[in-house]
Amino acid sequence: MHGFLDVISQFKITDALDILIVAFVLYRMILLIRGTRAVQLLKGVFVILLMTGISSYLNLRALNWILDKTLTIGLFAIPVVFQPELRRALEQLGRGGFFSRSFVLPKTQEDEADVRRIINELVKAASVLSKNKIGGLIVIERETGIADVMETGIPIEALVSAELLINIFIPNTPLHDGAVVIRGNRIVTANTYLPLSDDPNLEQELGTRHRAAIGITENSDAISIVVSEEKGYVSLAVNGKIIRNIDDQTLRQMLTSHLMPQKTGTFAFFGRKAEEK
């Protein structure tokens, strides 16, 4: 009892602040890795630590030696194994996304009207492609630059319009393969090749187009709209997750929420995570 009172008497405001900061950082890290392969990898690390403790307690020297060496090697392997998650965390930290939402809010009424026009054009194009079962993949760049990806495509540099987007994805035309990349209010490139997601938990029925839509959102904060050529389903990928088979109204609402989020302040510490599948 006296020991507890001694600890309480020595407790300072800075100690409370220290605890809150550490708790917040851990909370954001958990949100960052939730739903990724890192969760399974952390479970494996926990099992090895548990077995190391048990082997040490039971004096199983050979097993303890092997596990101890495995942990030592693991310290050097962690940056390699967790490379996608570490890259994602550093990108979010760099653009302020670790402490707030990563969206760029329209600065003026003209900007807001332009974003709404673009959303309307995207919804219109996705609807036409869906009804005609024409496959399509549209990527919307946000804060994280994807210039390296754009270099694989054909330069377009045209204002966003539903008619142009539909025409690009007409089968057997020179630009129908790959993705269209939008930056601001312009279609920057077409026939662009994206990195494929290597998430082993994705459904087997997802084809190359859907895996590419997810892959680009794993490596950046971009948004992908994908139209299935086989079934005509419209899907939206964001933050490495895909929401499948959505209608025009849902697509419009989701694009609006991601491209024109409510102005709730700069430091929305505990903002909700994006919609997941």
Domain boundaries, given as residue ranges, for the chain: 2-94, 109-259
pLDDT of residue 268: 40
Rounded to an integer, what is the distance from CA 35 to the centroid of its chain?
A: 10
Torsion angle (degrees, nearest 10) of CA 111, 149, 248, 156:
70
Averaged pLDDT for residues 205-209: 87
Reported confidence tier of residue 74, pLDDT bands at 50, 70, 90: confident
pLDDT of residue 109: 64
Superfamily of domain 109-259 in CATH is DNA integrity scanning protein, DisA, N-terminal domain (3.40.1700.10)
CA atoms of 248 and 260, how far apart (whole Å): 17
CA atoms of 216 and 242, how far apart (whole Å): 12
Most confident of 5-19, 24-38, 172-186, 191-205: 172-186
Other C-beta atoms within 10 Å of 44: how many? 11
The residue among 250 and 14 whose pLDDT is bigger is: 250
pLDDT for residue 258 is more than 50: yes
CA atoms of 96 and 145, how far apart (whole Å): 14
CA atoms of 6 and 187, how far apart (whole Å): 65
pLDDT for residue 31 is more than 60: yes
pLDDT for residue 265 is more than 60: no
CA atoms of 60 and 182, how far apart (whole Å): 59
pLDDT for residue 270 is more than 50: no
Coil, helix or strand for 122? helix
Given a contact cutoff of 8 angstroms between Cβ atoms, the answer to whether 160 and 121 are in contact is yes
pLDDT for residue 15 is more than 90: no
pLDDT of residue 165: 95
Buried (b) or exposed (e) across 87-123, using 16+ Cβ within 10 A? ebbebbeebebbebbbbbebeeeeeeebbbebbebbb
Averaged pLDDT for residues 164-189: 92
C-alpha distances (whole Å) from 84 to each of 37, 48, 52, 218, 233 are 10, 22, 28, 8, 29
Contacts of 70 (CB under 8 A, 6+ apart): 48
pLDDT for residue 150 is more than 50: yes
β 179-183/136-140 pair status? parallel
**Average pLDDT, rounded, for the chain:** 80
Beta bridge partners of 136: 227
Most confident of 61-70, 195-204, 215-224, 234-243: 234-243
pLDDT for residue 271 is more than 50: no
pLDDT of residue 234: 95
pLDDT of residue 107: 55
Q: What are phi and psi of 154, to 5 degrees?
A: -100, 125
Reported confidence tier of residue 211, pLDDT bands at 50, 70, 90: very high
pLDDT of residue 30: 74
Averaged pLDDT for residues 87-110: 56
Averaged pLDDT for residues 153-169: 94
pTM metric for this prediction: 0.63
Q: Where are the alpha helices (DSSP H) in the chain?
A: 2-10, 13-33, 37-57, 61-81, 83-94, 109-131, 147-150, 162-168, 208-219, 248-259
Reported confidence tier of residue 145, pLDDT bands at 50, 70, 90: confident
